[in-house]
A and B are shown apart, each in its own frame.
Chain A
Amino acid sequence: MASYLMNILVLFSINAILAMTLNFIMGYAGIFSLAHAIFFGVGAYTASYVAIHYTDSLLICMTAAIGLSAVLSMALALPALRVRGEYFVAASLGLQVIGVTIFSEWHSVTGGLSGMVGIPPPTLFGFTFTDQAHFALLSVTAMLAILGVVALLVRGSFGRSLMAIRDSESATQAYGKNVQAVKTLSVAVSAGLASVGGTIYAFYMSFVNVEGFMLDASILLMAMVIIGGTGTLLGPIVGAALLMALPAALTYLPFLPSEELGTVQQMIYGAAMVLLMMFRPGGLVGKRKGKTV
């Protein structure tokens, strides 16, 4: 029982990290990304590669993961954000598709479809994370740390710049803010921190393959952010919890055939997204329909 709960805790924390980092760009900067699962994947694969080939130091693996994700995201953001928001959606969708193909085909680095196995347990200041309880502690700490970072950013000057851009991009430019730079930085932060989730995931499973990083995963993350409530600190955490509880809740419904659980799950959150946008766009945690500016 304890093992089951700890497993859920680890997975929940990782999902919460991913949802929070996606919310950072979607809810605060108004940038839509359908490629968040790819940055999760880049984090996981990078950490695994470094751990298998170089060192099992958690700090080094994580730093490499964060760095690579951040750089990759900027390569996406710099050209795509120069033009309108719709272009970024399209470009992110492209990255999601290409990313999956690369993860599946680049055998020498990612292990292709079979993925990477035998990822060693990470070490931090001499302590090795072997037990499930260790990972539970690590993942919850990471989640809280990232919550803290996001809160600090959002409540500070960067958050104000983001919200100003969301309310009026032309006015933000007119008062001396380099909107391009702000948006690109926010994408980099989002992708970099998502990699933290990827790193923990890779070490926890000691195995990575492309299955966890496909379009369905990006869509699920988007659903978590939207249903929980964009532009709020707790929304993504609530969304992550709810959407993780959903499959478990569905198993209690006797009339649902178990093969169709995944399908029904997706239908429910698809419908939730539609209904929320119609009646409560702020999501569950957010405010009711606000006045238009």
Chain B
Amino acid sequence: MLYAQLFVNGLQTGALYALIAAGFSLIFGMTRVFHAAHGATFTLAGFMFYEIHTVLQWGWLAATLGALVVAAIFGVLVDRWIYNVIRRHEGSFFTLFVASFGLAIVVQNVVAIVFGRGLVTVSTPLSRSVEWLPGLYVAPITGIVLVCALLCFLALQWLLTRTDVGIALRALGENADLIQVYGLTPRRLSQYAFLIGSVLVVPAAILTASTSGLNSAMGHHIMLISIAATIVGGVGSLRGAAVAGMLLGMAENLSLAWIDPQWSEAVTFVVLFLFILFRPGGVYGKAVVS
């Protein structure tokens, strides 16, 4: 039953990771910006939910809206006010990454000052586990996580294949000139990419807040997962990032059957290293050599 339990836990973690990674991969694949502040978006959304729901007690609907608004605004403004300024004069990978990283550090510390460095959780009856089978504890929230992730991906799929913005976004990643056809500019589209990518982490942030909890420094872990999943899945492939996120979530949980919990973060990186060594293109990508 241990394996079954770890498997269920893995499904839950994996679904959350898939959402987070897809958000990052969308932004990176389409704008080529290494948005190291993606973890900060997650942290802000999660803490905003906590603040509105648990501290101010305004209900989960208001809290969800608050989280969505914060994530969307943060993502778009970072692109508009910071990345654009940098892209205008130089825009190299280095400069954008460093700025992004610096911002992530600022956000982490602001959150630490406001909320402290400890763990905060949003308590909800949905996270109470029920013993389904002897030794197998499942909470309703696991089901919610899975359904939510599925809905988000379906919505994303529809967005990217059926709407003009979505199709143009995919073109942006491959051939920026084609976008003129849709009457959109790369600048405007890049903002859409940040908007959608940032909003994708919100369900993951809310659900994480309700399950394992939030802390101010978790942005680092989010970035680790985002980067690892994007590479393992194949740069430029959203499907790959989502699949890889699920894979990493599963690996992290299933590995607990054999190793101590302190090593579970390391498992993610071992998987990453193996891919870099043997299949740098990832599961769905092509091998990209500089």
Contacts and interface: CB of A to CB of B under 8 A. Distances in A.
A93 B110 contact: no
A277 B265 contact: no
Contacts, number: 128
Interface in B62-103: 82, 85-86, 89-90, 93-99, 101-103
B289 A90 contact: no
Contacts of B45: none
A274 B103 contact: yes
23 contacts: A80-B276, A83-B276, A84-B288, A86-B93, A89-B34, A89-B97, A89-B227, A90-B228, A94-B224, A97-B266, A97-B269, A219-B105, A260-B113, A267-B109, A270-B102, A270-B108, A270-B109, A273-B99, A277-B96, A278-B82, A278-B85, A278-B99, A281-B95
Interface string B271-290: 01100110010000001111
Nearest to A91: B276
B97 A32 contact: yes
B78 to A, nearest CB: 10
B117 to A, nearest CB: 8
Nearest to A101: B266
B34 A86 contact: yes
6 closest cross-chain pairs (CB), A and B:
A273-B102, A270-B105, A94-B269, A277-B99, A270-B106, A274-B102
B270 interface: yes
B178 interface: no
Nearest to B89: A289
Given A101-B262, A273-B105, A274-B82, A85 B269 contact: no
Nearest to A83: B280
Interface in A242-293: 260, 263-264, 266-267, 269-274, 277-278, 281, 289, 292
B262 A93 contact: no
A150 interface: no
A272 B34 contact: no
A30 interface: yes
A126 to B, nearest CB: 43
Interface in B237-285: 260, 262-263, 265-266, 268-270, 272-273, 276-277, 280
A98 B266 contact: yes
A260 B269 CA distance: 32
Interface string A92-112: 011101100100110000000
A215 to B, nearest CB: 6
Contacts of A263: 109, 112-113
Contacts of B113: 260, 263-264
B269 A277 contact: no
A79 B289 CA distance: 11
A87 B85 CA distance: 25
A84 B109 contact: no
B231 interface: yes
Given A97-B265, A264-B109, A270 B276 contact: no
A90 B96 CA distance: 16
A44 interface: no
Interface in A168-211: 169
B102 A277 contact: yes
A160 interface: no
Contact of A105 (B97, B263, B270): B263
A30 B270 CA distance: 25
B276 A79 contact: yes
B19 interface: no
Given A82-B280, A263-B112, A266-B105, A101 B290 contact: no
A129 B266 CA distance: 38
A95 to B, nearest CB: 8
B103 A79 contact: no
B104 interface: yes
Contact of A83 (B85, B110, B288): B288
A85 B93 contact: yes
A281 B90 contact: yes
Given A84-B289, A86-B93, A278-B82, 13 more contacts: A79-B276, A82-B280, A83-B289, A84-B290, A91-B273, A93-B224, A93-B269, A94-B273, A105-B260, A215-B220, A263-B109, A270-B101, A270-B105
A95 B280 CA distance: 17
Interface string B166-197: 00000000000000000000000000000000
A68 interface: no
Nearest to B263: A101
B105 A269 contact: yes
